[in-house]
Structure 1
Amino acid sequence: MRSSSSDCWRPRRRTCTPRTSSASCAGRSRTGETGVSRRTLLGACVAAYVVLLVVAATVLPDEVPLHVGIDGTVDRTGSRVEALLLLGGLGLGTVALLAGGALAAPRLPLAWINVPHLAWWSATPQREARMRRMLADDLWLLACATTGLFALVLVAVVLLARGGDDVTGPLLLVAVVVWGLVVGVGGVLAARRRYRPDDQPDDRP
């Protein structure tokens, strides 16, 4: 019985088996389905942040507020170049660190990974592969959230530097605290739920 040419060229679906390393499993189908899209999302966030930096470079005055006290008043200023280097370096550097962690997640030593119930996740190669995919996805999202935080700070700095009213400083402080609580506390709670041991089969993609 002759097979059609399309059958000859039909790719085989690869699955993770006990002989397959957890690192290679972690880099397969789930990366193609979600990792790429989240990398694209992060790329869009970073591009928007770079655009904000360019706009800020054209509208910021020579003297720029660099720190807001606990009462919401500016207690330290610096030059425009210093502000751009500080916000650009910290923002892009932090995002690059998180993105690097996401890219390295399939190959990180287990001793470097800190997730709830790590012993359960590392008990089989299939569980470990799924855990590494989940960790990479979480780091991509955290990098996006971090970009948003620095963009918020940059916008507030521009408003303050260009003569914002007395409520801009306190609003900045409140916004940063709320954002940090949402990302920090929400992330911890989500991780505890997300990495809870389940009854799913070990060959779950």
Structure 2
Amino acid sequence: MLVFIKYGLPHLDTSGLPFLFKNYGFSLLVYQFYFVLGAFASIHYDAFKQFITTHHRFIGWSTVVLAVGTIGEYYYNLNVLGLSLKKTLEIHQPYIFIYDLFIIGFIIWIGLQYAKYRDNGLPQWFVSFVSTGAKVGFGMYLGQTVALEIVDLGVTALSLPTVWNFVTLPLVFIIVVAVDYGMSLCFFKIPPFGFLVGRPQWHVSRLWSAK
């Protein structure tokens, strides 16, 4: 499917197609593999955990190599395939799919290491920070675009040279995460905005129980 989306769909007239075929990013079918993989990992958790633990070095180094390779993928899409910038940056690509699998696996391994050391020496403030982040994680997923827009306004206002924009990328990434975290935390703490991050302070079920 991803091969067709990348190499076939850009050359077709999609104006007469149904909404979900033209805007496939909204279709659950595009993400079905991740749902199936999540279900498989849940059912066979012990075997899945053992696989991640055994092959974590290969998964980790492959993640680094594939991450660097996204730079080549960018120029390949733009200059060789002649794709638009929007299509070039799109996540629905075979290469990005493979990269996703490895980085998800590596993040799972990091999570397993955190669980191992959480009660054995990690500072309490860090444990609380991660615990709160887990509660507002869905909100951060939903609000990342807003955080990116806010930081983009700041970066645009600074008008830094291209070289400095590249050098400060790690800092910008940290700022985006911090803004997203803070925004989601505020919604989580302040009623009635909890529903915006998937953590409503009030539930409809309480109305029924009150009766």
Task: Normalising by structure 2, report the TM-score.
Answer: 0.26
Looking at secondary structure, tell me which structure has more strand per residue. 1
**Structure with larger Rg:** 1
Task: Normalising by structure 1, report the TM-score.
Answer: 0.26
Higher relative contact order by CA 8 Å / sep ≥ 6: 1 or 2?
1
